[in-house]
Amino acid sequence: MNRPPIQKTVRISIDSRSCKKCGICYGFCSQNVFTLARDGTPEVTNPSNCTYCRLCDLRCPDFAITLEVIS
Amino acid sequence: MSGYTFKSYLEKSQLPHMWCPGCGDGIILRAYTEALAELCLAPQEVVTVTGIGCWGKADDYLGTHAFHGTHGRALAFATGIKLGNPDLTVVALMGDGDAVTIGGNHFIHAARRNINLTAIVTNNYNYGMTGGQYSATTPLEGKTTTSPNGTAEPGFDLCFLAEAAGANFVARTTCYHAVALKNMIKEAISHQGFSLVEVVSSCPTYFGRFNVHPSPVKMLNWLKDKAVPVQKYREMSAAEQAEHFAVSTLVNKNRPDFYTTYKRINRPDQSAKGEE
Amino acid sequence: MQGNEACVYAAIDCGARFYAGYPITPSSEIAELSAKYLPKVNGIYLQMEDELGSIAAIIGASAAGKKSFTATSGPGFSLMQENLGMAIYAEVPCVIINVQRNGPSTGLATRPGQGDVMQARWGTHGDHPIIVLSPSSVQECYDLTIRAFNLSEKYRIPVILLSDEVIGHMRESLTIPEVEDLIIINRKLPLVPAQGFKPYTPEEDLVPAIPPFGTGYIVHISSSCHDESGYSHNAPQTADNLVRRLHKKIEANQEDIVQVEWFGPEDAELTIIAYGVISRTAKQVVINAQANGLSVNLLRLITHWPFPDEQVTQALKKARAVLIPELNLGQVVQEVHRLNSFNTPVYQLSRIDGEIILPSQIMQKVEEVLK
C-alpha cells in the first residue's frame, strides 16, 4: 500500500541503555531514517523522512525507541 | 481513552530484559502490553501466567498480577486461577516447550474443556533458555544442539492441534507482523472460551544461527517470507505449503466455555441421579 | 460414614470450594463426593488430565482466593511432587489427601500401605518444610481435614493428609459439629496500602499476607527464587533468606502444629509408636497387654511432619524399649533412631504384603521384647 507522505515532524529517540544493537529498526525502516554506526549502534540520521508508521517502535524488542509527534 | 499505555503494564525497574539482541520475545511482550492498553484492562484485572523458558521470564517485566509456575504447567495453573475467580482476565504466556512439549497434555485439555482464557505461545522452534535443544515444534531435520545432524522427529502444528482439541479461537502470526499480532491478541482476549495465538518467533542465537541466519533482521525477513495468509496458503501446492505456514485467524467458534456449561449443568439446587 | 466421605464433608464445612483431581483407587470416593456436593455450595469440581495438572489447578484456584484441595494415592502423589514444591516455595495454601496404598509403583492398588511417609516429607526436591497429618479414624478424617485447611491457611503451606486405604474405606459413626461451632482459620489479608505493596513481605509470624488475585493489590506469585516483591531475584542472600524463613515459620510453631496421642499407662516399660490404621491395632495391644500384666503404652503420631521430636524423645527416655509397627520396611523407625541418644532398644515390625499388622503379631513381638 502506497501511502501519501504525511507531513509530520517526529522526534525519535533511542535509549542507549536499553538498545542491544539488534539492527531491526535500521533493517526495516522503509524511509531510511536510521543508519548504523560501525559497532551496530543505530543512529537517527534522517528524522525528517519519518512517516510515523511506528513499526520501528513496535518491533524494537527492547522498548528502546520513543517516537513523539511534534507537529 | 483509558489512559493506559503499554508502559502501564511493564515493571520499569526490571528493564532492560535478559533476552538476546533481536529476540522475538520483546516484540511479543510489547504487542501483549499494547493489546491490554487498547482493551482498557486495569493491571489489577489481569493475571499473566508463565511457565519456564525464555518466554517464561516475561512475568518479570510485567506489572499485572503474575503467576510464574513450573515448566509446562502454565495452562493447568491458569485453569485453576480462571475457575477460582472467573472475573479475572487470564493470559498464559508459554513457549513451544511449555505449551506443546512438556505441557502438551494440559494444552489439548485446556482447549477441549474450553476454559475461558488466552494462550500466547511463542514458537521459536527450539529451547532457547537451556541452549538451543530441539522441541516438539522443531521441524523435521532442523538442527539444534541436541540434533546436530537434524532432528528425526517432525514438529507439531500448534494451531491444528488446538483446533482438533476444540479451541474456540485459533490464530497465528509472526513477530515480524507486530501490528497484526497486537490486534490478534486483542481479539483472542476478547473471545469467550479457549483462545490461542501462536506467534512464530525468532531465536537468532540458536535456531536462527543453526538453520537460517544469526542476524535478527534476516530472521524476521525469513518469518515474513514463510508466513502467508490462510486463503493463499490453501491455494498452494503441497510442496509450496511445506515451505510456508498459514497466518491470520484460523478458527473462530462460539462454543460455550467450561464455566458457563458447568454452571448450567450443575445448579446448586439440583439433586444427583437416584438421590431425592 | 466412610473415612473418605468424612474428608469431603470437612473440606466443604471449612469453606473449600474448589477440587481438582484425577481419580485413583483408593481415594476415588473423595472425587466422586466432591463432584456431587461442591456444586451445591457454588463450588467447582474439576477432573484434570493428570495429577500434575490437578495440583497445579488447585494451586491456581487458591491463588485466586478459593480454598482448594485434591485427593490421590501413591502413583498420583508421585506426580504431584513437582508442584507440591511450587506451593511450598510460592506459599500457596492447599490440602492434598493421600489415601495410601501398597506400593511401590502400581503395587496392590486396593490394599493399604504406609510407604509414603518419607515421600510426603522429602518427595519434592530441594530443602523444604512440610506439614503432614495422619488420621486413624473416620472422626479424625473429618477433624484433621479441618485442621489441615486451618494450618495451610495459617502458615501458607500445603498440608498433606496422609490417610490409608483402611481408614479411607472404613465405616464408623462420627460427630459432625455445627459449622458455626467449628474453628476455621482463613489466610490473613494485608493491612498495608496497595501502593508499593510487596506480597512476600513476612509479618511478625514470618508468614506473608498475600491477597488473592483480583483485589486492589498487584500480586506476583513465583516458583523461582524471589525477593519480597515476588519478582525473580537470584542473589545468594535472597535465596538463603527465603528458604530459611520457610523453614523457620514452621519450626517456630512446632508446638501449634505437632499433635500426638498417648494411650495406656504413663510409665510403661514398652512404648509402641504407631500411626494411621496400625495405631488402631496397637491400641488393642495396649489393652490386651494390660490384661496380661504387661506394661505397654502407645504414642500415636497425629502429626507426621514436622516430626514429633519432643514426644518421641520422651518415649525413648522413659521406656525400656520402643517398638514401631508400620506398613513399610521402616520409615518412622529411622526418625526414632535419629533421636535415640539414650541407647534405648528400638524394635521394628514391618508388613508390606498389603495386609494390616494384626494385634496378635504385635503382641508376640511385645512378649519377645519384654520377656
Task: Encode pLDDT of C285-319 as tens digits.
Answer: 999 999 999 999 999 999 999 999 999 999 999 99
The conformation of residue B170, written as its DSSP 8-state character, comes to: E
Indicate the DSSP class of residue C208: B
Above 90 in pLDDT, residue A4?
A: no
Q: Tell me whether residues A24 and B217 touch, CB distance under 8 A.
A: yes
Provide the shortest C-alpha distance from residue B31 to chain A (in Å). Answer: 7
- B118-129 per-position pLDDT tens digit: 999 999 999 999
Per-residue pLDDT, B268: 83
Q: What is the pLDDT of residues B132-187, one digit of tens each?
A: 999 999 999 999 999 999 999 999 999 999 999 999 999 999 999 999 999 999 99
Domain covering B19-263: architecture = 3-Layer(aba) Sandwich (3.40)
Which helix (H) or strand (E) covers residue A68, if one does?
strand A65-69
pLDDT for residue B270: 75
Residue C61, Cα to own-chain centre: how many angstroms? 20
Nearest Cα neighbor of C36 from B274, A19, B21 is B274
Cα–Cα–Cα angle for B38, B109, B175, rounded to 5 degrees: 40
Per-residue pLDDT of C184-193, as tens digits, reads: 999 999 999 9
pLDDT at B271: 67
**The C-alpha cell of C230 is what?**
515476588
- Flag whether pLDDT at B275 surpasses 60: no
State yes or no: pLDDT of B38 exceeds 50: yes
* Phi, psi (deg, nearest 5) at residue C306: -55, 145
How far apart are the C-alpha atoms of B106 and B98, rounded to whole Å? 10
- Full residue range of the structural domain in which residue C91 is found: 3-181
Q: In terms of C-beta density within 10 A (0-12 exposed, 13-18 middle, 19 or more buried), how is residue C228 classed?
A: middle
Q: What is the ipTM of this complex?
A: 0.97
- How far apart are the two ends of chain B, measured CA to CA in Å? 54
Q: DSSP character for C84?
A: H
Residue B273 pLDDT more than 90?
no
By Cβ distance, the residue of B21, B25, B31 closest to A20 is: B21
On the question of pLDDT at C95 being above 80, the answer is yes
For residue C16, which of C182, C186, C134 has the smallest C-alpha distance? C186
Q: Which residues of B touch A23 (CB under 8 A)?
A: 22, 215-217
Secondary element (H or E) of residue A10: strand A10-14
Is C60 part of any domain?
Answer: yes
C318/C303 Cα distance (integer angstroms): 21
Is there an interface between C and A (3+ Cβ pairs < 8 A)? Answer: no
Query: Is A4 among the domain residues?
Result: no
pLDDT-based confidence at A5, cuts 50/70/90? low
Domain containing C24 — which CATH number? Answer: 3.40.50.970
Inter-chain contacts counted by CB atoms under 8 A, chains B and C: 146
B175: phi then psi, degrees, rounded to nearest 5: -80, -10
Query: Quick one: pLDDT at residue B151?
Result: 98
Which residue, chain included where needed, has cell 495438572?
C53
**Of C155, C181, C207, which residue is a domain's last?**
C181
Whole-number mean pLDDT of chain B? 96
Domain count, chain A: 1
| Residues with Cβ within 8 Å of residue B120, at least 6 apart in sequence | B28, B32, B91, B92, B93, B94, B185, B188, B197, B199
Query: Is the CB of residue C161 less than 8 Å from the CB of residue C133?
Result: yes
Q: Which residues does chain A have within 8 Å of residue B176's beta carbon, measured at their own beta carbons? A: 59
Check whether C171 has a pLDDT greater than 50: yes
The boundaries of the domain holding residue A58 are 10-69
Best interface-test mutation with B: which of C59, C67, C200, C227 has the largest number of B CBs within 10 A? Answer: C59
Q: How confident is the model at residue A3 (pLDDT cuts 50, 70, 90)?
A: low
- DSSP symbols for B177-231: -HHHHHHHHHHHHHSSS-EEEEEE---IIIIIHHHS-S-HHHHHHHHHHHEEEHH
* Same structural domain, C169 and C36: yes
Which of C80, C224, C233 has the highest number of chain B CBs within 10 A, making it the mutation to test binding with B? C224
Give the number of domains in chain C. 2
Residue A71: predicted pLDDT: 79
Q: How many CB atoms lie within 10 A of CB C264?
A: 20
Q: Binning pLDDT at 50, 70 and 90, where does residue A6 land?
A: low
Q: Do B45 and C214 touch (CB under 8 A)?
A: yes
3-class SS of residue C236: helix
Nearest to B216 among A18, A24, A63 (CB): A24
Determine the Cα–Cα distance for residues C198 and B212; give it in Å rounded to an integer: 44
Instruction: Report the distance separating Cα C91 and Cα C206, nearest Å.
Output: 11
How many CA atoms does the CB half-sphere of C234 hold within 13 Å?
A: 1
CB-based contacts of B219, cutoff 8 Å, min separation 6: B22, B202, B203, B204, B208, B212, B213
pLDDT in tens, C227-243: 999 999 999 999 999 99
What pLDDT is attached to residue B59?
Answer: 98
**pLDDT value of residue C61:** 98
Is C136 within the bounds of a domain? yes
CA atoms within 13 A of residue C252's CA, in its CB half-sphere: 11
* Structural domain includes residue C106: yes
Residue B106 in contact with residue B51, Cβ under 8 Å? Answer: no
Q: Is the pLDDT of residue B253 over 50?
A: yes
How much is the pLDDT for B276?
45
Q: What is the pLDDT of residues C20-34, one digit of tens each?
A: 999 999 999 999 999
Q: How many other C-beta atoms lie within 10 A of the C-beta of residue B265?
A: 9
> A18 and B179 in contact by Cβ < 8 A?
no
Interface of C with B in 71-110 (CB under 8 A): 82-83, 86
Nearest Cα residue in chain A from B18 = A62
Is B30 an interface residue toward C (CB < 8 Å)? no
Share of chain C above pLDDT 90, in %: 100
Cβ neighbours around B23 below 10 Å, total: 30
Residue C128 within any structural domain of the chain = yes
The percentage of chain B sitting over the pLDDT mark of 90, rounded to a whole number, equals 96
Residue A55 to chain B, least CA–CA distance (Å): 7
Q: How far apart are CA C362 and CA C127, in angstroms?
A: 36
Give the mean model confidence (pLDDT) for residues B78-96. 98
* Within a domain: A2: no
Maximum Cα–Cα distance for chain B, whole Å?
A: 70
- The pLDDT of residue A1 is above 60: no
CA B15 to chain centre: 22
CATH code of the domain containing A62: 3.30.70.20
